[in-house]
């Protein structure tokens, strides 16, 4: 039996985190959402105390990642996740305010699965997150290898 997907939300702005969570919930996604407000905590959780990421084998993770974090760039987290043999199967959704072409290109090059620019207009924002929630509800997430 596959475990239910856990959503790892790395977002430094608590307001954004709250809005994202609310809108995901509104779309009917009830999976566990683990929020992290800085990169270090998120890295510690993802790679575990031994730093190998083996703590999450057999788990299905979906990572929601903001690029502008206070202590590190989301891109570094993305690179490390995609280089890790346990975590690289986890879909990474980059959700950030940056719509710089170079940045977007770089994220996809590093293996990001979806890149979404946060719309400032709340209607669009809420809409985007809800659709993302719908996307989450149908997406198949593989388990990390054992």
Binding site for other proteins (CB under 8 A): 13, 15-16, 19, 22, 68, 97-98, 100, 118, 120-123, 125-126
Nearer to other proteins, 60 or 64 (CB): 64
- State how far the Cα of 95 lies from the Cα of 93, in Å rounded to an integer: 6
* Consecutive H or E run containing 126: helix 122-138
Q: Which residue has the tokens 């083996």?
A: 54
Closest contact distance (angstroms) between CB of 120 and other proteins is 5
Please, what is the minimum distance in Å from the beta carbon of residue 22 to other proteins?
8
| Residue 1 vs 120, nearer CB to other proteins | 120
Nearer to other proteins, 7 or 20 (CB): 20
Residue 104 contacts by C-beta under 8 Å, 6 or more apart in sequence?
Answer: 98, 115
- Our CB check for other proteins shows the closer of 40 and 121 to be 121
Axis-axis angle for helices 122-138, 14-26 (nearest 10): 60
Instruction: With H, G, I as helix, E, B as strand and everything else as coil, classify residue 37.
Output: coil
Q: How far is the CB of 75 from other proteins (least distance, A)?
A: 15
Nearer to other proteins, 12 or 59 (CB): 12
Output the smallest distance, CB 21 to other proteins, in A.
Answer: 11
Closest separation in Å from C-beta 109 to other proteins: 20
Cα 60 to Cα 14, 46, 49, 73, 108, distances in angstroms: 24, 12, 19, 24, 21
């Amino acid at each position: 039996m596959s475990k239910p997907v856990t959503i790892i939300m790395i977002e430094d702005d608590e307001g954004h985190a709250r809005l994202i969570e609310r809108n995901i919930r509104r779309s009917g996604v009830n999976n566990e959402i683990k929020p992290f407000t800085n990169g270090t905590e998120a890295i510690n959780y993802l790679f575990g105390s031994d730093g190998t990421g083996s703590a999450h084998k057999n788990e299905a993770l979906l990572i929601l990642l903001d690029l502008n974090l206070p202590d590190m760039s989301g891109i570094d987290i993305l690179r490390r996740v995609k280089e890790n043999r346990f975590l690289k199967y986890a879909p990474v959704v980059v959700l950030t305010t940056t719509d710089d072409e170079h940045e977007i290109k770089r994220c996809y090059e590093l293996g990001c699965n979806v890149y979404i620019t946060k719309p400032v207009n709340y209607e669009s924002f809420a809409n985007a997150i809800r659709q993302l929630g719908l996307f989450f509800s149908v997406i198949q997430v593989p388990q990390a290898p054992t």
